[in-house]
Structure 1
């Protein structure tokens, strides 16, 4: 019995779509794995660098992201912000953000001071947290912005004492009128308060992206093989 291949247009077009989709998504996952590998290398490199002192001069945010930084100055007490929907170990709560005026400069930097729990009885009540008075020194890790959460619609500009979903240095600068450095500092140094400062590390899972890439490439290969095998089967049946 001689095998014959029967070309069918509609199955061919469907196979073409699946193969193209599988290859495109596989390539995307490979790029994501490369990005995460580069991020891991950057984290390792910058965590080993000596602390960087922020003195109010302009900084390149991409160049100092994830670096250990030190800044001296005073908190601006009338501009606290409370980042909402920030759970910690199964409890709901906020991350407290406050601007910090850098000594010898007119610039401020946003400090993520730490996590605090929410009052379960009153949803929109914000807790009182003592602010260190006078000049103080804060140590922490520089990031571009706090971890973002899903937000529906366009949020109003932040206001002093507001509960907000997301905020970044540029948006805060526009709302406050202050000159804000384009980075945020996740505080790690103690200050006598009960704020929790367990900051999540950037999500790095290179193997997961490689696994997804393999699955998409496998889908493309299976679609092609299915088209070829069923084409020969159809040809055989037709010949018989």
Structure 2
């Protein structure tokens, strides 16, 4: 029996839409996977380099792209009054904050925003701030340079930046404007212990590569399935 294919416009258009969506989202997931693989290579390369000391001279010549993911050493004094709390940062299934405090670099008028660590929040009173000891006087700490502390979807109007504010996201430029302090255009995730009880288990920015490859496969499979279904049903209709 000869095969014949019966073409129908609406199923064809629907198939094109599904295939286009599947291919587009699959390609986006592939790009995200490649981006994270590139980040992992940069992290591995820079992790092998010795820590860089960020003093006033180094800050004046700082190149953010060249510094990102580098281990650094900072010396200065914390501006405890300008501690900010980044909301919706869970750790091991618990709700909490990232504690962010400016550090005034010794011998400099510049500050670096230091992500000091994670602390669990009070679920019974979500406006209550945790009691955290901030080291007084000159301190020396080590950490990793990041361009930002990670950005989350902002729902509703962002809270004003002020001492002790609980915010969803924090931009260094906005922090400088609100506080009147001069900031380096990046943050440092502290890795050295300070005896303050904060958790310093920072999520690796390159994590989730396998997830992106998995999602890419699913979207490409959806596109392929839609195309096969259109062809098969077209031949079935043609043979009736």
Q: TM-score, normalised by structure 1?
A: 0.89
Measure the CA separation in 2 of the matches of 1:4 and 1:204.
Answer: 50
Cα pair 2:36 2:205 within 8 Å, conserved = no
Unaligned runs of 5+ in 2: none
Greater shift, 117-126 or 60-69, is seen at: 117-126
Cα RMSD (Å) of the superposition?
2.0
The answer for the alignment partner of 2:169 in structure 1 is: 166
Match of 1:67 among 44, 67, 70: 70
Name which of structure 1's ranges 225-234 and 42-51 shifts more when overlaid on structure 2: 225-234
What is the aligned partner in structure 1 of residue 6 from structure 2?
6
1:115 aligned to 2:118?
A: yes
1:209 shift after superposition: 2.0
Out of 85, 89, 101, the residue aligned to residue 86 of structure 1 is 89
- Call closer, same or farther: CA 1:87–1:5 in 2, change over 3 Å: closer
Structure 1 or 2, whichever has the larger Rg, is: 1
**Per-residue deviation at 1:156?**
3.5
Q: Secondary structure, in 3 states, of the residue corresponding to 1:78?
A: helix
Runs of 4+ in 1 over 4 A off after TM superposition: none
Q: Equivalents in 2 of 1:128, 1:103: separation in Å?
A: 26
User: Structure 1, residues 197-227: CA drift from partner, whole Å, max 9, x if none?
Assistant: 2222225232322222222222222222222
Structure 1 residues 95 and 27: alpha-carbon distance in aligned structure 2, compared to 1, 3 A threshold: closer
CA contact (8 A) 1:148 1:166 kept: yes
Deviation of residue 85 (structure 1)?
3.0
Tell me, what secondary structure is at the counterpart of 2:97? strand
What's the counterpart of residue 239 of structure 2? 236
TM-score (norm 2): 0.89
Residue 154 (str. 1) matches residue 157 (str. 2): yes
For residues 5 and 92 of structure 1, the distance between their equivalents in structure 2, rounded to whole angstroms, comes to 57
Question: Contact 1:58–1:181 (CA<8 Å) still a contact in 2?
Answer: no
CA displacement at 1:99 relative to structure 2: 0.6
How far 1:230 sits from its partner (Å)?
A: 1.9
